[in-house]
Structure 1
Amino acid sequence: MNNYQLKINKLAKIIQEPIINNQVKEINKIIETINQHDVLDRRPVDLGLAPNELDEIQRKNFQSKRVAIEQINNLLNNFRSFLSRYYGIWSLPNLETVHLLKSEFDLKKGLEIMAGNAYWSKALTQANVKMIASDSFTWAQGSKTGQNNFYPTQKLDAISSIEKYDDVDFIMCAWAPNFGDSDCQVLDTYRKCCDLKQTKLFFVGEKNGATNTAQFWQKAHQIKSKKLLKVNQSFKSFDFIDEKIFEIK
């Protein structure tokens, strides 16, 4: 077990609360799945304690346990941060979501840009979608997770990838940075190269929040549909970040 797991499992044994035990069990399952280079069947359960849940648990327990309760709640709330540091994963796809995405939008071949460790490409491949993953890997120079790809990934920046691979059904970008202008460049290049080909563009992240820049959300034309609503119902965020899949024009 890694240090994060050791801490939450130790604290859970001290506290002995069913709601905490269930969440720790879920985290252990997620980590085991990732370690096997596999993908979750369904979205994770909600992680972290709501304020009323935290208050209730603290009232039920002795003073000696209150520090442990606060510590484990902090760890539960920061599970996504752990995944990013330890695995280079910011977003957790699941098989139910990628199968729905494939069937609702009739996807056959896709390009993942800014793929990082290409966990979304791994998931989509398991839904029998042919994927090409690419990343500039500039971030990987200072990251221990930079060589731990879940799917073969070409060293190619997002703009060059869009220009090179013009025969795909869709382009996907998960968790674009909320600084710089790379997301706006992607949007401009997509509109220049792909708009008339009816290539779909999906971004995974949080609108006006953890992902993408304010300029991007001002420029992006969001396409809302019953199909995407159905997909996102299987992809509800497991933490306080309001993560969704967006179709952009």
Structure 2
Amino acid sequence: MEYGKYLATLSEFEHQVASLSPARAQIRAVKATLSALAKQELPKAPLPKLGFSTAYLERHLLDHPELFELERVLNLVRQVAIENFGVWHLFSSAWCEALKQELYPGKTIELMAGNALLAKNLPATFAVDELDWKGQDNERPDPWTKVYRLDALEAVQRYYTEVNNLILAWAPETTTKDQQILAFLRQKKWSGRFIVIGEKNGATNSKRFWQEAKLNYVPSLNTLHQPFDAIKDKVFLVK
């Protein structure tokens, strides 16, 4: 859906549910997130869980039958971000501040960076991506900062001795490079931090990667990274 049309639809719902604070808060959070992305900025706060409990619907449905449709529209936010801004994963500036505390001193590479949201918002970070988005829901890269056109595995092989952190967020489930990167880092006994954001055995990364990766859950990063839709992605430190 086109961004402007989506915002207009949300505004209509906001008027209809003006007396329902929880519903109105979700609408405003989605609007704030998309408005920030439109300016190539990160939203300040992460999105809340979108949608309504059965009890909430039962309590308000007679007066607000539009809640079912509102829930459907709210859960389009990721697709709207993808189609309009080339953003598959929705970071927040609050989460980025927490991430900075978890990174080792030194340089960082954002792998398969897409439009390089993290590289723009993290110190000493450079982004690599092949920038070939053919067949994706958005085929038009519009990087927020400089992106080096480079295969992720090649970038790791070339620069692993110069960096202390690698970040891989939302690698496509069709890739095999994630597992190859992991195998290479193990072979070289790399001692840096390899941070992966994705849904285990789900929407991101290869099955083999999830089978072979030793995953450490990072509480400080997941506190500000709660799933907002049906995709249950998390932040892992990978060995």
Aligned counterpart, 1:192:
187
Q: Among 82, 103, 110, which residue is 2:80 paired with?
A: 82
Kept in 2: contact 1:42–1:94 (CA 8 A): yes
Q: Structure 1: which amino acid aligns with 2:229?
A: D
**1:26, distance to aligned residue in structure 2 (A):** 1.2
Deviation per CA, 1:169-196: give whole Å up to 9, x if none: 1111110111242322222233234x33
Report the Cα distance in structure 1 between the residues aligned to 2:135 and 2:124, rounded to whole angstroms.
28
Q: Aligned residue pairs: how many?
A: 235
Change (3 A) 1:51 1:144: same
* Percent of aligned pairs with the same amino acid: 25
Aligned counterpart, 2:171:
176
Kept in 2: contact 1:134–1:158 (CA 8 A): yes
TM-score, normalised to structure 2, is: 0.88
Report the Cα distance in structure 2 between the residues aligned to 1:96 and 1:219, rounded to whole angstroms.
31
Change (3 A) 1:170 1:81: same
**1:217, distance to aligned residue in structure 2 (A):** 0.7
Kept in 1: contact 2:38–2:85 (CA 8 A): no
Aligned counterpart, 1:100:
98
For 1:203-218, list aligned pairs within 5 A.
203-218=196-211
Q: Structure 2: which amino acid aligns with 1:41?
A: K
Deviation per CA, 1:75-104: give whole Å up to 9, x if none: 112211221121111212223322222223
- Note if 1:133 corresponds to 2:135: no
Kept in 1: contact 2:117–2:144 (CA 8 A): yes
Aligned counterpart, 2:213:
220
Change (3 A) 1:149 1:181: same
For 1:1-249, list aligned pairs within 5 A.
2-16=4-18, 17-59=20-62, 61=63, 65-66=64-65, 68-124=66-122, 129-139=123-133, 144=138, 146-166=140-160, 167-193=162-188, 195-196=189-190, 198-224=191-217, 228-249=218-239
Q: Which moved more, 1:46-55 or 1:68-77?
A: 46-55
**1:231, distance to aligned residue in structure 2 (A):** 2.1
Q: Structure 1: which amino acid aligns with 2:185?
A: Y
**1:12, distance to aligned residue in structure 2 (A):** 2.7
Report the Cα distance in structure 1 between the residues aligned to 2:104 and 2:138, rounded to whole angstroms.
36
**1:143, distance to aligned residue in structure 2 (A):** 5.6
Change (3 A) 1:161 1:245: same
Q: Structure 1: which amino acid aligns with 2:203?
A: A
Report the Cα distance in structure 2 between the residues aligned to 1:82 and 1:48, rounded to whole angstroms.
17
**1:229, distance to aligned residue in structure 2 (A):** 1.0
Q: Structure 2: which amino acid aligns with 1:173?
A: L
Kept in 1: contact 2:193–2:237 (CA 8 A): yes
TM-score, normalised to structure 1, is: 0.85
Kept in 2: contact 1:86–1:145 (CA 8 A): no
Unaligned runs of 5+ in 1: none
Change (3 A) 1:180 1:104: closer
Moved over 3 A (4+): 104-108, 140-145
What RMSD over aligned residues (CA atoms) do the two structures have, in Å? 2.1
**1:161, distance to aligned residue in structure 2 (A):** 0.9
Q: Structure 1: which amino acid aligns with 2:34?
A: I
